[in-house]
Homo-oligomer: A and B are copies of this chain.
Amino acid sequence: MRSGDRLALARLITHAENRTSALPAIMRAVHPHGSGAYVVGITGPPGAGKSTIVDRLTALLRAESATVGIVAVDPSSPFTGGAVLGDRIRMQAHALDSGVFIRSMASRGALGGLARATGDVVKLLAAAGFAWVLVETVGVGQTELDVMKLADTTVVVFVPGSGDAVQTMKAGLMEAADVFVVNKADRSGAPGLMAELKFAAHLQYTGPTARRDVDWETPVLATQADSDAGTADLLDTIRRHRELLEASGALEARRAARRRAELRALLAEELTGSLERRLAAADLGRTVEDVADGTIDLYTAAEAIRPMLSLGPS
């Protein structure tokens, strides 16, 4: 994979997607090579034009000979499957370019699992030498947020006419956004939407949940990605954000925090699995059934089970 074999890369990605037993050894082997890429997340509601924006950013980066890995994370809802497939077909303009690698990730139903698999795929793309990794989520809900946590810069794309953008924004996405884009900015609702987003960005910037490690108020950009209008400005803005993060040391600090969170999440997931097995065992299973049939309450059961679940060395 490190020598540019795309088939090898695709095979390793499949290990990450399927969480095979070989994955820990794979990730250990690529780890020394995995920190070079800059990761940009692109999210927003269905139909906002995210894939077109990813396509334009890719073209701009390729014009400078920078290599680009693209991960498109599909939503778990089966109803948008067709749209996603269409997006991928549009991206085939880059399909024959050896400086671009495109992979769609399907949801496995396990939300945390999808974000973790995406994290491993991003690391594989970085280790394969791609300078930029663009992560696009078409999902709605928690997956989107978890996937966006993988990004160094998060771009949230809106489109005029999709209802009250700020009110329908998922909780937490406001805090995660580094750049707002109003795409299809020639539509009539665009100025109002931009004003609304600017107000929300300013509230966020001056509010209690703002990140204070860099001085950055989320800018609101207008694009018409179909005709490439505004996309160069978007790439410039992403670069400005990157430079600020790098110069201030915030990039390294945020990545360190992200790695800590990944480890905690992995261990917590394993522990939850152990808990399921312990609760299924005869000694605790009886108490679980007493709760299920209403014989005892939740807290009484938790008190009875708690001493049996000490988290100590084996």
Contacts and interface: CB of A to CB of B under 8 A. Distances in A.
Interface of A: 23-24, 27-28, 31, 35, 45-47, 75-80, 83, 107, 111, 139-143, 145, 161-164, 166-172, 174, 200, 203, 207, 255-257, 259-260, 262-264, 266-268, 270-272, 274-276, 278-279, 288, 291-294, 296-303, 305-314
Contacts of A163: 45, 161-163
Nearest to A258: B292
A279 B296 contact: no
Given A162-B163, A260-B288, A267-B279, 20 more contacts: A27-B299, A28-B299, A45-B168, A47-B164, A75-B171, A83-B167, A141-B142, A141-B145, A257-B292, A259-B292, A259-B298, A260-B291, A260-B292, A262-B291, A262-B298, A264-B275, A264-B279, A268-B271, A268-B275, A278-B311
A168 B140 contact: yes
Q: State the copy count for this chain.
A: 2
18 contacts: A76-B172, A78-B207, A79-B166, A79-B174, A79-B200, A79-B203, A140-B170, A162-B163, A259-B292, A263-B301, A266-B302, A270-B302, A270-B306, A274-B311, A278-B311, A309-B311, A312-B312, A312-B314
Contacts of A255: 294
Nearest first, the 3 A-B pairs at minimum CB distance are: A310-B314, A24-B299, A31-B297
Contact of A271 (B79, B141, B309): B309
Nearest to A162: B163
Of the candidates A142, A300, A311, the one having the most CB atoms from chain B within 10 angstroms of its own CB is: A311
B313 A307 contact: yes
A169 B46 CA distance: 11
A304 to B, nearest CB: 11
Nearest to A119: B298
Nearest to A292: B256
